[in-house]
Amino acid sequence: TLPHIAVGDHVTGKNEVTGPLRVACLGGGRSEKGFSHLQAIIDETRDDLLSTGRIQFVVQSKPMRLWRHRPRMAFRTGGQPISKARFSSLPSNDEVVFCRHPLPTDAYRRLLTDLDLGLFLYDRESYQNRCSGVLTELLVLGKVVIVPGGTWLGSQVDLPNYDYLSSLVSQLSLISTARVPITEPNLSVSSKAEIGEHHGTAGICVPRNATTASVKLHAVANGIDPVRLQTRQLNSAGKTVREQVHLVFGGESAAPQQLVHLIPGTARLVCDCTFLGRQLRVAGDVKFVFFQQPSSTHRTPPLGCAGLSFANHASIPQLLRDVVTHFEHYQQHAQQLARRWRQVHDPLTTLRLLT
């Protein structure tokens, strides 16, 4: 199968954003595309992102496919439920804009060009090893994307993000670095795990003046199954004050990383590693790097660069907030990724490799 590349102009991100960022959920609205999660995300972001005019959701689907999700999605726009009769006409407002699927070619191209961020709510199990035509179009056009982690889709942004996180060493004030062995109380090292979930843990005390930490997993996976990296910030009483989860494709992410914004008063940082499926592993460890944010910088560093991947749908609102806060940063890196990605996945390149 040849890669699917958008027809038309490439790298069309807006240099200046006027008005809300347009966050798009595109496609036919099938159940595996996760449209049933959209209402919860709309509700969670309404107060700080939607009602303030910072973002606007653009939803493309066949009307009756969206209507089938109504037990899990009330389709409230502006806080008001939408009846089936009104829904058939796809009402829009300043917060949520509905557009039909499919659109004529020219209208669809204009839709892609005018977007700022692609939101892919796809089910991880259904899309673990699948591509997405819409994703390839948005990547080629230099759009920022949020995609499911632990999938091929997620690996397209995870790998550039790991390079970005490694570059933070030169941008922030380094405090300390340590590698802590992963403890596996129920699984001996270098043994073959049965199918299931197998856990390992590593933890370290947080330096008093640290504001940011990078967590990097060094372990051998089988190259097929995902690995879940969960960080927990504990206060001096041992109570968890914040959790953050990162789900990565085991094969293409030999050393997955996660950026952690530390809450003031965090005394200990713990990393829980969960290996999903059948994994053949040797001894591994977690590298903790602690930074102090320069006093002249008021904003925390972005969590990623060209896009972000999510471990669960509940984490998407926080990822959206990070992209909105640092949108110029994400947009610049997305356009850089587009040039490299288009070159690697161009159908003509694939044909040359096959002949």
Give me the pLDDT at residue 54, please: 96
Lowest mean pLDDT among 8-12, 93-97, 207-211, 303-307: 8-12
Lowest mean pLDDT among 69-83, 142-156, 247-261, 336-350: 69-83
**Residue 280 predicted with pLDDT over 50:** no
**Residue 119 predicted with pLDDT over 80:** yes
Q: What is the arithmetic mean of pLDDT over 96-117?
A: 90
Does residue 345 or residue 133 have the better pLDDT? Answer: 133
Tokens of 152: 């091929």
Rounded to whole angstroms, how far apart are CA atoms 142 and 226? 27
Give me the pLDDT at residue 11, please: 52
Give me the pLDDT at residue 193, please: 44
Residue 199: strand pairing partners: 274
pLDDT 10s digits, 182-237: 886 554 444 444 445 677 899 999 999 999 999 998 876 555 677 888 999 999 99
Q: Is the pTM of this model over 0.75?
A: yes
Quick one: what percent of the chain has pLDDT higher than 70? 76
Q: What is the arithmetic mean of pLDDT over 269-295?
A: 78
Q: Which amino acid, residue 13?
A: G
CA 182 to chain centroid: 25
**Residue 296 predicted with pLDDT over 80:** no
Tell me the pLDDT of the chain averaged across its residues. Answer: 81
Q: 125 near 72, Cβ under 8 Å?
A: no
On the 0-12 / 13-18 / 19+ scale of CB atoms within 10 A, 89 is exposed
Q: 309 near 160, Cβ under 8 Å?
A: no
Geometric angle at alpha carbon 302, from 298 and 307, rounded to 5°: 155
pLDDT 10s digits, 37-74: 988 999 999 999 999 999 999 988 776 555 555 444 44
Does residue 4 or residue 284 have the better pLDDT? Answer: 284
pLDDT 10s digits, 323-343: 999 999 999 999 999 998 888
CA 273 to chain centroid: 18
Give me the pLDDT at residue 307, please: 97
Does residue 274 or residue 164 have the better pLDDT? Answer: 164
Rounded to whole angstroms, how far apart are CA atoms 138 and 143? 5
**Residue 251 predicted with pLDDT over 60:** no
Give me the pLDDT at residue 10, please: 54
